[in-house]
Chains A and B, each alone.
Chain A
Amino acid sequence: MLRIEGLTAEVEGKEILKGIDLEVPKGEVHAIMGPNGSGKSTLSYVLAGREGYDVTGGSATFNGVDILAMEPEERAASGLFLAFQYPVELPGVGNATFLRTALNALRRAKGEGELDAMQFLKVARERMRALSMPEDMLKRGVNVGFSGGEKKRNEILQMALLQPSLAILDETDSGLDIDALKIVADGVNAMRGPDFSALVITHYQRLLDYIVPDRVHVLINGRIVKSGGPDLAKELEAQGYGAIQAAA
């Protein structure tokens, strides 16, 4: 399980996270909702280990291990996955090469054998079919020339291949039409099970119609101000963040 206690962090000297307390038990999917600038993306970057996001206090452990002390690749090896809000384009790096290198790096870290190109293709094709991704997306540069929806699907494909035990989905719904949203949600739901937890970060309730969370947390101004069941998302959609902000 993911346990965050009193986490504070700053970016370029400005305090963004002002004391986050959060627990995501094994097997559960939690949503974090909040207005722009509330610290949602900062939280995801801090958990993934991005440079320039400085933890100033508190802790974050995953299955009892302090993840904040780890390099990003070590966090990945321990089962953490971040689906980016803005996936990075890597011209000159083939998508297939990228995916296979990542998969094999994790397999190596776990002491498993690496997959050769043929073995990898077999696995990748299977996952891609489930996400309705055309096979030529393997041949292109990573995210290069991909539409917004294709980039998000590529993130979900990576998640499906890397099989993390904790996925953080940072605004994975942004820029998606309803069909793409369903495909992405199906991809996440297919992962759900007793050994998989997820932190779904979103601005809108819409995604949560398709990925129904166990818990919903409201993040405002660097703090979680309210937590509740799935209905909290609907409440927010109806009343907006203003009402909660006023009450908090």
Chain B
Amino acid sequence: MTAQVATGAAGFLARYEGLKDHLPGARKPWLNTLRADAAVHFAARGFPTRRVEQWKYTDLGPVAQATFAEPLTMVEGALALPPPNAASRAVFVDGRFRPDLSTLGGLPFRATGLAQDLNDAEPWLGALAKPEAEPLAALNTMLFEDGLFLDLPDGVDAGLLELVSIAVDPGRPFAFHPRHLIRLGAGAKLTLIETATGRGQCLHNPVFEIEVAEGATLTHGRMLQEEATVFHLSTIYATIAAGGTYDNFTVAAGPRLTRNEIHAVLTGPKAACHMNGAQMAADGQHVDTTTALDHAAPDCASRQTYKTVLAGRSRGVFQGKILVRQVAQKTDGYQMNQALLLSEEAEIDSKPQLEIYADDVKCSHGATVGALDADSLFYLRTRGIPESQAKAMLVEAFLHEAVETVTDDTLRTALTRALDNWWARQGAAA
């Protein structure tokens, strides 16, 4: 293969042109059409700039100006994996499924790499993602190679399952765009614990398409913990049917730039969506949580609580849109985002957005921004606790409050560990 010289969007489009006959599923007309359409959308829009409303506070310039190559060809072999949180785990290296590192045997449902099961993915792949609206989804559709394909039949309680993504540093910038399809049949249940680690100059651009059928419950815990050289741009599309629940908790702590974008649609009565998280950034880092919640049915509830901690010269963004359609009477919506600024050079941009067309709804939102409370700090210090330790206690308290809403013990423990690790690293750096 010839070396890519074009940068940014042009580089990715050139890559698509060169690779399209070799990408997984290249002989399937439906998939070729999907990819080709996505390429048209991506060519038309390129990477979003800050002139685009949804990207006003997050500058993708560093991504658009870089040149990313392919991940290296998969090599079998041992790799340092993060400690397991569950007996079943699906491991992806540079976005490619690694059966040799995964433990998915004996499961009473489909849990495979998407690339090897593309035939069955046709009804789901592209059903929710909107490449015409979100250029990153277009990029992902154009170039994805693999991803997690989970399909839980009606009534299956799958317990815990882990999704591990590792990016291995090949010594040059590279990009990968996994596409994860997750489908829960009626009444099915799953707790998915996701860990993303990785190093090197890489762009990790996953897209999730998640379907939660009637009465099903998906708990999705995410720990985005790549190193501070990594760009992590993830887009989740979720649809939740009557009586179903999608519960997302995301810890974003590590990458140079993190965008955690979630689009959720509540399509049937009494569906629920919880989107919570904690995002942290240290000097030179940028974290962005952007949610769009669509109440498209009556009697649904949504809850969002996000906490942001910013140290050094860093920037945090929270954008949360709640759309309550006219049909969505008796909607119960709540959104809260709180930011703790540990430095005078840190900046948080917070944009709640409520769009309500139904008249009988309960919808509230709030935002707080502040430094560490001086009274609390003084109180701790009068007890002999040194200032740095007192600060750490208050930051941990702020973050732990967010995790308290997580009911699954294993997941809560894992999330708490991710928060504490971040803070420990800050202490080590300071």
Contacts and interface: CB of A to CB of B under 8 A. Distances in A.
A84 B383 contact: no
B384 A92 contact: no
Given A90-B394, A101-B389, A105-B389, A76 B401 contact: no
B381 A72 contact: yes
A106 interface: yes
Contact of B381 (A71, A84, A92, A158): A71
Interface in A93-146: 93, 97-98, 101-102, 105-106, 109, 141
B376 interface: yes
A48 interface: yes
B396 A92 contact: yes
Given A101-B389, A105-B386, A93 B394 contact: yes
A70 to B, nearest CB: 11
Interface in B334-389: 374-376, 378-387, 389
Interface in A5-40: none
Contacts of A248: none
Contacts of B374: 51
B400 interface: yes
Contact of A102 (B383, B387, B400): B383
A50 interface: yes
A101 B376 contact: no
Given A71-B387, A93-B394, A87 B381 contact: no
B124 interface: no
Contacts of B378: 48, 50-51, 72, 88
A225 interface: no
Given A91-B401, A92-B400, A93-B394, A48 B387 contact: no
A31 to B, nearest CB: 21
A105 B397 contact: no
B401 A158 contact: no
A166 interface: no
Given A48-B378, A49-B382, A93-B396, 10 more contacts: A71-B381, A73-B385, A75-B382, A81-B382, A88-B378, A90-B394, A91-B397, A92-B397, A97-B393, A101-B385
Interface of B: 374-376, 378-387, 389-390, 393-394, 396-398, 400-401
